[in-house]
Amino acid sequence: MNKQEILERFLRYVKIDTQSDASSTATPSTEKQWKLATVLKDELKAIGMTEVSIDEKAYVMATLASNVSHEVPCIGFVSHFDTSPDFTATNVQPQIHENYDGKDIVLNKEQNIVLSPSYFEDLLLYKGQTLITTDGTTLLGADDKAGITEIVSAMKYLIENPEIKHGKIRVCFTPDEEIGRGAHHFDVEKFGAEWAYTMDGSQLGELEYENFNAASASIKFNGKIVHPGYAKGKMINSMYRAAEFIQQMPLEQTPEFTEGREGFFHLSSVNGEVEDTHLHYIIRDHDRNLFHDKKQFILDLVDKFKTKYGETSLEVEIKDQYFNMREKVEPVMHVVDTAEEAMKSLGITPIIKPIRGGTDGSQLSYMGLPCPNIFAGGHNFHGRYEYVPFESIVKATEVIVKIAELTAEKAK
C-alpha cells in the first residue's frame, strides 16, 4: 500500500472543518459538512468507483463492482464525516510524531498543553510508531476521518490490484453521526448491501457488535416566583426541587463509577431559574431489562415527587434513542466471524467488547442492515488530546481489503 498517499489523504480530510450542530434541525446540521462530502464524491469518482452519488442530505454512496464470476453477497463499509460539537474543529493543525519514545508529547508549548502517558496510558501501546496529534487547540477529527481514509484507501487498493478477488462492495459516508442522526436518512434499500461494517472504533483490534440501549429523560420542575422580600409561604424555587431530585438519583450508577457492561444515568445538563428548572439525563444499559428498569426508576421518582409536591410540580418526557445491535447481529454472526478472521490473518488480536456508547451501526442494524463496528485507530476522541497511530490506519485499511477477499472466498 502507498502509505504516504494514505497519510496525505488523512491529513487533507482532518483540515476540513465538518463539526455538526445538535441545535440545528437541518440535515446536514451544518453547511460546512458539504465541503468534505463533495470532496469525497469527487475522489471516489477519481479512483474509479462507480454509481457515485450524493443526495440532498449529503449522504455519499459509491460502488466497487465484483471482479469474480460466482455470486458473492454485497457488503458495505460506512463512516461519518462530521466531527463532534464537544470541542472546536476550526483550523485543525495535525502534528506528526515519528518513532514515539513513550514520553510526554508537548502539543502546544505556549499554552503548556501536554499529551502524557502518565494520564493516557494507551499511548504506551504505540512506542516506536508514528502518532498524529492535534496542536492542542482543536480536536483532530480521526473520529471518523480515519475511518473514511481507510475505506477510500482500501477501495483504491482493490481497484489497483485486481488480482485480489472480491464481490460487490458498497461504501457510504454520512453526516451528523456525532449528534445521533447519522442513520436517520440512510437509504438502506438504495445502499443494497446484505451487511456492512462501520469503521468507527478506537484501539487497534476493536471489533464490536454490542452497544448501549439508549434513552433521554427531560424533567421540568415548576416553581413560582414572588418578590423575595415577601416570599414566605408563597415562593416555590424549582431549583431546590431539582437539586433534591438529583440527590435521590443513584450516584453509583453514573459514568464516573461504571465500566464494561454496567449501565448508567448521566446528568448532562441543568438549566434553571426560580420559575422552572430543566434536567436532562441520558440513560444507558446493554441489558434490555435493566434498561427498562432504569427508565422506570425515573418515572417512579417523578411519581414520588408528585405525591409530595403536587401533580403539576414537575413533568417528565422519556424518549428511546437506539437499541443494542447485538439482537440483530447475533443471528448473522458470520459477519463478525469474517472480520475476526481477517484481523487474525493480519496478525491483529481482535478485541471483542461492548461499545460504551452508540454507533450508526446500531440504528442501521435495526433498519435491516446488520452492521458491527471495526477499529479506526484513534484515541481520546472529542477533545484536544485526540491522537491516532498512523500504523493503525494502515492496518484498518488492510482489514477492509481482507474482509472483501474472505467474503468472496467463503461464497465459492
Active site residues: 82, 177
What is the residue type of 212? F
Give the position of cell 482500501.
154
CA dihedral (33, 184, 292, 325) in degrees, to 10, reads: -90
The continuous run of DSSP H or E covering 144 comes out as helix 142-160
Alpha-carbon span 344 to 31, nearest angstrom: 41
Closest among 63, 68, 67 to 50, alpha carbons compared = 63
Concatenated DSSP letters for 33-59? HHHHHHHHHHHHHHHT-EEEEE-TT--
CA dist list (Å): 26 to 22, 23, 31, 176, 358: 10, 9, 9, 10, 21
The continuous run of DSSP H or E covering 96 comes out as strand 95-97
CA dist list (Å): 44 to 1, 59, 76, 148, 156: 17, 13, 15, 11, 9
CA 209 to chain centre: 13
3-state helix, strand, coil split of the chain in percent (to 5) is: 35, 25, 40
CB 74, CB 194: distance < 8 Å: yes
Angle, in degrees to the nearest 10, between helices 238-247 and 288-309: 140
CB 320, CB 283: distance < 8 Å: no
Alpha-carbon span 33 to 59, nearest angstrom: 10
Give the position of cell 483490534.
205
